[in-house]
Amino acid sequence: MKDMEVWCQGRQWLPRAALLLIFAYIGWEHLVNPESGDLFKGLNLGIHELGHMIFSPFGEFVTVFGGSLFQCLVPIGSMFMFFRQRDYFAIAVAWGWLATNFYDLAVYVSDARTMDLPLVSPGAQGEIIHDWNYLLDKLGWLQYDHVLGQLIRLDATMCLMICLGFGTWLCITMQRSKPLAQGEFSELP
């Protein structure tokens, strides 16, 4: 805790607060319209597709699951990287990024039976597999697609609340901290 308070000294809180407002807006949009897009959608999709390729040596089931798994592991890995760098606000942002992945995943899982979502897959030839129809069918859980989707949506909202709460606390701590003395290291805004 003390390390975070020291980290906040001399840092610019206003641009970070603006970024938190963007995340709050993203969260609001997902609550109003679960299928809404956000700034991260294209990035998340690219990471999802890369996950299929990375996990492809481990069999069909793991390959299909690997897309969703990887798109959630990348923000979590980012949190660990930012913790090692002691960039606490970046950790808060990574929680928000994870939330966007969970929001997208919740829509995808909930669509498992109806398969209404338009699917994309670079380099796919022939019919594209709906990941979550395949996975839940193999597990015998297809009838629980909406329940699982809602649980993932709850996870997304909790991640977003961590982002907003932790980020807000950091911004308030930055705003209240004493400015650095002349000649001390200060970051750029």
In the chain, the amino acid numbered 23 is: F
Output the pLDDT for position 120.
Answer: 81
| CA 65 to chain centroid | 17
pLDDT by residue for the chain (189 residues), tens only, comes to 889 999 999 999 999 999 999 999 999 999 999 888 888 999 999 999 999 999 999 999 999 999 999 999 999 999 999 999 999 999 999 999 999 999 999 999 999 999 999 888 776 666 789 999 999 999 999 999 999 999 999 999 999 999 999 999 999 999 998 765 555 554 544
Q: Where are the domains of the chain?
A: 2-115+130-176
In the prediction, which pLDDT does 188 show? 44
- Closest-CA residue to 132 (of 148, 107, 150, 109): 109
Residue 144: count other Cβ atoms within 10 Å of its Cβ. Answer: 15
| Predicted local confidence at residue 110, as pLDDT | 97
Retrieve residue 75's tokens.
């923000």
Collapsing DSSP to helix, strand or coil, 180 comes out as: coil
Distance CA 101, CA 40 (A): 8
Task: Please choose, from the candidates 134, 132, 128, 74, the residue with its C-alpha nearest in 3D space to the C-alpha of residue 107.
Answer: 132
